[in-house]
């Protein structure tokens, strides 16, 4: 797999989120958990793990939304003893996930920066749904 920090989006994540006080690292991923970009503060392998984990949590969030009669998931928050995880939609079939430096990080400030980045880039962050070619399936 290619290095997802050396691409333009990795640099942009560093600039827009990596400099925000309280952000430990951020990753951008497709809805099915494929890492697209990451800040320099998380390695490639850990970024891939976080992307896959976040996609699983996002699926659980969508199930929760469906069960409770909601109209779609916009954001998710996981509050742990040592940090907070935030995930937000960032274009078609694309998510942005941030881990904070601690439980007392300014979630409002971080969330605002995440939302601004998602809106600013809009369609550029979108990922089309992957489809399998059934004619070649074994």
> Which CA distances in Å does 97 have to 23, 37, 68, 73, 89?
10, 11, 24, 14, 9
Mean pLDDT calculated for residue range 11-32: 92
Whether residue 3 is predicted with pLDDT greater than 70 in this model: the reply is: no
Whole-number pLDDT of residue 66: 96
Mean pLDDT calculated for residue range 19-40: 94
Whether residue 138 is predicted with pLDDT greater than 50 in this model: the reply is: no
* pLDDT tens by residue, 79-136: 999 999 999 988 888 899 999 999 899 999 999 999 999 887 665 555 555 555 555 5
Mean pLDDT calculated for residue range 56-69: 94
Whether residue 5 is predicted with pLDDT greater than 80 in this model: the reply is: no
Q: Which of 4-18, 41-55, 56-70 has the lowest mean pLDDT?
A: 4-18
Mean pLDDT calculated for residue range 74-80: 92
Neighbours of 124 (CB within 10 A): 12
Whole-number pLDDT of residue 92: 82
Whole-number pLDDT of residue 100: 96
H helix intervals, the chain: 8-13, 44-67, 107-121
What gap in Å lies between CA 71 and CA 36, rounded to an integer?
A: 27
DSSP character string of 89-111: E-STTEEEEEEESSTTS-HHHHH
Per the CB < 8 A criterion, the answer to whether 40 and 24 are in contact is no
Whole-number pLDDT of residue 2: 61
The CATH number that domain 8-125 falls under is 3.30.450.30
The ranges assigned to domains in the chain are 8-125
Mean pLDDT calculated for residue range 58-62: 93
């Amino acid at each position: 797999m290619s290095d997802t920090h050396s691409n333009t989006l990795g640099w942009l994540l560093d600039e827009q989120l990596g400099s925000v006080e309280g952000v430990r690292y951020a990753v951008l991923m497709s809805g099915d958990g494929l890492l697209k970009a990451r800040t320099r503060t998380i390695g490639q392998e850990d970024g891939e793990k976080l992307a896959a984990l976040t996609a699983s949590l996002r699926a659980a969030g969508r199930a929760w939304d469906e069960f409770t009669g909601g109209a779609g998931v916009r954001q998710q928050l996981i509050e742990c003893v040592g940090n907070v995880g935030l995930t937000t939609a960032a274009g078609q079939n694309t998510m942005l996930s941030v881990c904070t430096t601690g439980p007392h990080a300014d979630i409002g400030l971080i969330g605002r920066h995440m939302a601004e980045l998602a809106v600013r880039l809009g369609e550029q962050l979108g990922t089309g749904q992957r489809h399998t070619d059934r004619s070649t399936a074994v």
